[in-house]
Amino acid sequence: MAPVQKTSRRNFIRNASLGIGSLALSPTLIQLAAAKPAKKLGIALVGLGYYSGGQLAPALQQTQHCYLAGIVTGTPSKAVDWAKKYNIQQKNIYNYQNFDEIAKNPDIDIVYVVLPVSMHKEYTIRAAQAGKHVICEKPMALNAADCKDMIAACKKANRLLSIGYRLHFEPHTIELMRLGQKQVYGKVKSIDTGNGFTYGGDPNAWRLKKALAGGGGLMDMGIYSIQGSRYTLGQEPIRVKATQEKTKPDLFKEVDETVFWELQFPGGQKVTGKSSYNHDWGYLKAEAEKGNFELGPAFGYGGIDGKVNGSQMQFPQINQQAAQMDDFALCVTQNKQSRVPGEEGLKDMLVVDAIYRSLDSGKWEKIG
Ligand code: NAD
């Protein structure tokens, strides 16, 4: 069993009894108390690379409803370092060979897949079959067909699946969604968005191998711009036309470097996007009938900023990963679908698949 967190259990009992005692006065308090798990749920991170080590493990030191209970790694020295640094019990450390034994471990409630993209499907399905709820990093899989298999496997195992879309918990982004979807300044007429960075890493990294990454800047960075367009409008795109540019063919032999696209939505809005491994972009600008709003930086975790009709947005910076994982822990406790379920990852991958088809055909391609 995962350790019972004394303070949260004490609070839970206290809140629950307070709620019962003041039934007529405070129904909200009862709901709050019921929503709070009695113990922190245990998360196991699978793949201890940059994102797990630099963001997720530190965020799990700040979470209220879940904690870093276990790890899965193929590198024995990392197992030693992480166990020491994060006080992880030996019985909660797995490698890729004995991973399925995690089924027998009640300390682990949630498996978080933080591996190269080509491994997302296998480890999501194996985790669900081991009886664990799953968070899978973006992009969800190599293609939409794999996303569908992952969703089906989690449904069959009766486990919840969520994608690591941290921005859905970020205050500026939530405001952007509200402004766009609620048509606060009238209908959004156009969106322009781009996301990318100048790749200066290992030329042999998995990110540059098609079999492991599925693609380049589009899969890794463009997915944020695609999703940004979808969540600003609250609609699903119908067709897409894309072009690409390659200035470093030796480095980006197997994957896309810079991709430009136009998305057609049912409302007829003009929506353009771009992604890159060779440009530092990170913005989303929306023009509505009676105003405009934008985020920039729009997609990172080093601070999000934005403007509405030229005035700076005033929202706090939060730890996006902590908020995202805490929300999923509550979803698991309440057996409630996450606001970023597998279906959300699938919708983005349907667009990505169509963009790659358009790059091949040179034509508009239907999405889905
Ligand atoms: P990384 O290369 O730093 O880490 C990948 C980990 O997988 C390493 O620990 C590596 O040892 C392990 N691994 C196991 N089998 C492997 C294999 N066959 N080949 C290569 N590595 C293997 O990558 P990362 O930057 O941590 O990215 C991991 C995932 O997290 C990706 O899906 C990425 O898109 C996602 N990510 C998300 C965000 C975000 O903001 N949500 C940020 C960064 C990365």
Q: Where are the domains of the chain?
A: 35-166, 187-288+342-366
Task: Please tell me the CATH superfamily of domain 35-166, with its number.
Answer: NAD(P)-binding Rossmann-like Domain (3.40.50.720)
Please tell me if the CB atom of residue 56 comes closer than 6 angstroms to any atom of ligand 1: no
Q: How far apart are CA 64 and CA 60, in angstroms?
A: 9
What is the model's pLDDT at position 141?
99
State yes or no: cis peptide before 76, omega within 30 of 0. no
- Phi (first) and psi of residue 248, to 5 degrees: -125, 70
Determine the pLDDT at residue 169: 98
Residue type, 91: K
Residue 16 DSSP label = H
Ligand 1 and 164: CB distance under 6 A: yes
Q: Is 291 exposed, middle or buried (0-12, 13-18, 19+ CB in 10 A)?
A: middle
Q: How far apart are CA 74 and CA 93, in angstroms?
A: 10
Instruction: Identify the active-site residue in 51, 94, 224, 301.
Output: 224
224 is catalytic: yes
Q: How far is the CA of 279 from the centre of ligand 1 (A)?
A: 21
Please work out whether the CB of residue 285 comes within 6 Å of at least one atom of ligand 1. no
Residue by residue, pLDDT tens for the chain (368 residues) are 333 333 232 232 222 222 222 333 344 444 444 555 679 999 999 999 999 999 999 999 999 999 999 999 999 999 999 999 999 999 999 999 999 999 999 999 999 999 999 999 999 999 999 999 999 999 999 999 999 999 999 999 999 999 999 999 999 999 999 999 999 999 999 999 999 999 999 999 999 999 999 999 999 999 999 999 999 999 999 999 999 999 999 999 999 999 999 999 999 999 999 999 999 999 999 999 999 999 999 999 999 999 999 999 999 999 999 999 999 999 999 999 999 999 999 999 999 999 999 999 999 999 99
pLDDT of residue 352: 99
**What class is the 187-288+342-366 domain?**
alpha beta
Distance CA 66, CA 59 (A): 10
**Token duo for residue 10:** 């004490």
3-state secondary structure of 22: coil
Going by their DSSP bridges, the two strands 93-94 and 110-113 should be labelled as: unpaired
Sign of the four-CA dihedral 181, 184, 187, 193: negative
Say if residues 288 and 185 touch (Cβ distance below 8 Å).
yes
Supply the pLDDT for residue 19: 28
DSSP 52-103: IIIIIHHHTTT-SSEEEEEEE-S-HHHHHHHHHHHT--GGGEE-TTTGGGGG
Return the pLDDT at 37: 61
Q: What is the DSSP string of 89-148?
A: -GGGEE-TTTGGGGGG-TT--EEEE-S-GGGHHHHHHHHHHTT-EEEEPSS-SSSHHHHH
Does the beta carbon of 141 lie inside 6 Å of ligand 1?
no
pLDDT in the model for residue 38: 74
